[in-house]
Structure 1
């Protein structure tokens, strides 16, 4: 029964995600047609000649009827063909796959750091509500929420790269090639996104823990004389994980799709930097592919979060 309900839930979520993805495909397809001016002419810039214009327009399929263009684009997307970059002539899907590991490693480092900071800090603040330590954590988290990413990055570069000289200020090394160099170079950009996300998560962790602390079963566990550590871990944190997982999933998706400024500041060759360069070069097929990939990642994270609900809290029925 549990397996069938789980299968129905997953099938329903997958169907919902596919419908949302279809809507994203429509919007992404229309992007190149809604841009003011002729996208091919804009992309060519100073390289414009009539021959180059006709060739690029034909290669992009923009010389065909709109409905035929959409059907072709939809079929190509299903096949994994996202077109060819105006600027480099390289397949868009290949360009995205080359940049995805850098952004994924940065996002995972950042969200892990955010959880390491927020869960203890938020729990500590909730357990000591109204005390000085609670006030310090609340003020600090508010400061972290208010700080722009680029300012946090510049502050970390100034302190740890320029003044102390402990870490490089920019650059990237693949974790598969040199794990030590990857770690040294991911610390500053990862801390930039992790500290901001950690500040946001700390406030949600505190609120979630406070809500659980007022529950009857927590008061009963305390009345039975259970050690505070057991009460906190088994009864408080476990039941507070549902909203924490939700916000953590949103933050992870936000990091994956919104680290453009951080990647530019740290010269990190990820998806954000790729989109920034593509927009500057009017490389619309690359922008379309990047937006579509980020939508797929966001939907995948949402699906993972929904499945984790049942793993964390067995009271939830997947139906």
Structure 2
């Protein structure tokens, strides 16, 4: 494990370094100027220039980037230009909502993906396989925001079964918190879960043609035993890889889903930061999303090695 982490460290540092440059430059390339926003209505050129000097925006981008990175190493994430609050406090106020949404969505991705993939990979009746294939294709094709809007209409307007706007923390009230959380989490999870199911389904159908499956059949093993003990078990690695790859989609989709369901999470903070040109907040959010995605990929490789003894972490061959 130590050898594996040490070997991954250089690539991790390079990815974060490159991502920090993108996170710093991308918000500044967008049209608009935060100094103009802060100057109010009918600003003069002198007032805009004074605000830029006060915020340090008149310095070269290289100097601004160096100051930002040095601040990150000191644990200083910077300060929001518009809200006059530290970025750390802004993220701290909202990260709980996003973490709850992401955790439940990930659990649903694993459960729904594994269930649909196993059923589709095991179905032998033509109509059952066709129904499962159609369900997977539908979930893959329909974007998460459209699923979310459909849930709002079905469960919040036509039938007032679940709340569709706002939130209650699961830590404060587990029952109400789950009711506020289940619809956005399900809307966010269905698309990635269908992709995971496709991977598992394809791998299971390939494994069924392996020689060890024929050997188990010749020994009189039951179909259920072969599916669970041999086929599904040897297809788990592909499912784990698929889940790791879909974490990026979950993070990206959380921005839209939080806006649709009016959740006060990091996605909403990112949207408001883009609208207000508050790039000190936005650049930290971008870099944080990349860090989470990279860590998820590392965790995927570790879990994959634990499931498959043929894989050894740290091996270079």
Look up the match of 1:288: 283
1:146-157 equivalence runs, <5 A: 146-157=141-152
Cα deviation, residue 52, structure 1: 6.0
CA displacement, residues 111-161 of structure 1 (integer Å, 9 cap, x when unaligned): 222222221222122222561111111111111111122221111111111
Cα deviation, residue 234, structure 1: 2.4
What is the CA–CA distance in structure 2 between the aligned matches of 1:211 and 1:59, rounded to whole Å?
63
Q: Mean Cα displacement is larger for which, 80-89 or 55-64?
A: 55-64
Between Structure 1 and Structure 2, how many residues are aligned? 314
Look up the match of 2:108: 113
Cα deviation, residue 50, structure 1: 6.4
CA displacement, residues 151-176 of structure 1 (integer Å, 9 cap, x when unaligned): 21111111111222111111111121
2:233 is equivalent to residue 238 of structure 1: yes
Q: Is the 8 A contact 1:147 1:196 kept in 2?
A: yes
What is the CA–CA distance in structure 2 between the aligned matches of 1:237 and 1:112, rounded to whole Å?
19
Cα deviation, residue 264, structure 1: 0.8
Look up the match of 1:31: 26
2:277 is equivalent to residue 315 of structure 1: no
2:108 is equivalent to residue 127 of structure 1: no
- Tell me the SS of whatever aligns to 2:41: helix
Q: Mean Cα displacement is larger for which, 8-17 or 221-230?
A: 221-230
Look up the match of 2:56: 61
Look up the match of 1:268: 263
1:116-265 equivalence runs, <5 A: 116-129=111-124, 131-265=126-260
CA displacement, residues 45-77 of structure 1 (integer Å, 9 cap, x when unaligned): 538466764564345432334333222111112
What is the CA–CA distance in structure 1 between the aligned matches of 2:47 and 2:172, rounded to whole Å?
40
- Tell me the SS of whatever aligns to 1:64: coil
Q: Is the 8 A contact 1:108 1:252 kept in 2?
A: no
* Structure 2 residues not aligned, in runs of 5+: none
TM (normalized to structure 1)? 0.91
TM (normalized to structure 2)? 0.91
RMSD, matched Cα: 2.1
1:26-105 equivalence runs, <5 A: 26-36=21-31, 38-42=33-37, 44-46=39-41, 48=43, 53=48, 56-105=51-100
What is the CA–CA distance in structure 1 between the aligned matches of 2:39 and 2:215, rounded to whole Å?
71
What is the CA–CA distance in structure 2 between the aligned matches of 1:198 and 1:66, rounded to whole Å?
41
What is the CA–CA distance in structure 1 between the aligned matches of 2:302 and 2:76, rounded to whole Å?
30
What is the CA–CA distance in structure 2 between the aligned matches of 1:53 and 1:286, rounded to whole Å?
21
Relative to structure 1, the CA distance from residue 183 to residue 217 in structure 2 (aligned partners, 3 Å threshold; closer, same or farther) is: same
Look up the match of 1:303: 298
Relative to structure 1, the CA distance from residue 278 to residue 83 in structure 2 (aligned partners, 3 Å threshold; closer, same or farther) is: same
